[in-house]
Amino acid sequence: EVQLLESGGALVQPGGSLKLSCAVSGFAFNTYAMDWIRQAPGKGLEWVSGISASGGNTYYADSVRDRFTISRDNSKNTLFLEISNLRVDDTAVYYCVRPSGDYVKFDFWGQGALVTVSS
Amino acid sequence: SNVLTQPPSVSVAPGKTARITCGGDNIGTESVHWYQQKPGQSPVLVIHYDGDRPSGIPERFSGFKSGKTATLAISSVEAGDEADYYCQVWDSNGDHPFVFGTGTRLSVL
């Protein structure tokens, strides 16, 4: 059974930093790209960032480029998202997701980690 | 960048068929995928590659597309189908590789 378990969500002040983790099990982690998708309260889904299976290639939405850093530790089956210079509009539930092998859709989603940016 | 437009809401009586549309320039050239998100839960893939159902999804869910519009159809609607539904395509030419629709709230009367 595929399981994606996010952690690290918190209440953070504007300008602060945070690192989300996603522990993965149930599939060969080192053979799949992985992504983060977020959802602001009451809003739709927004793709944020992705990383190749090896970690050698990373991708970011324009809205988060230069502030978000995606990484992975294939030895520990864990995905990370480091967020710096947090803004109020970064407030959202952040989902760890496993895309399909052809990297066109999302087959499995974690339960989400809530990040709240407020003073 | 590509934009996928969905109606904000659709209402349907139990037992009837709900149809949710998704319009965008890339619909005709890219596969469309649909997700169901029930209140307080994570999204679940219910239709992929325009009209195929992932394992475990009831046959009541179907999808098709024509021109620049994709449609998710849910037949014999049940109260448990009440949820937000999102379409999604992979955008090879846009700034973001993945584009989601604006979302549709399905209400069962």
Instruction: Tell me the two tokens of residue B50.
Output: 């325009």
Subunit contact B95:A62, Cβ cutoff 8 A: yes
Nearest to A48 by CA among A79, A10, A25: A79
In the predicted model, what is the mean pLDDT of chain B? 94
Which residue among B33, B44, B96 sits closest to A105, beta carbon to beta carbon? B33
- Chain A residues lying within 8 Å of B33, measured CB to CB: 104-106
Task: Report residue A86 CA to chain centroid gap.
Answer: 15
Checking if the pLDDT of B95 tops 90, the result is no
Q: What is the DSSP letter of B54?
A: P
Provide mean pLDDT across the span B13-40.
95
**In sequence order, what DSSP letters do the residues of A41-93 get, joined into one string?**
TT--EEEEEEE-SSS--EEE-TTTTTTEEEEEETTTTEEEEEE-S--GGG-EE
Residue of chain B with shortest Cα separation from A47? B98
pLDDT (0 to 100) of residue B61: 98
- Chain B residues lying within 8 Å of A45, measured CB to CB: 35, 43, 86, 88, 100, 103
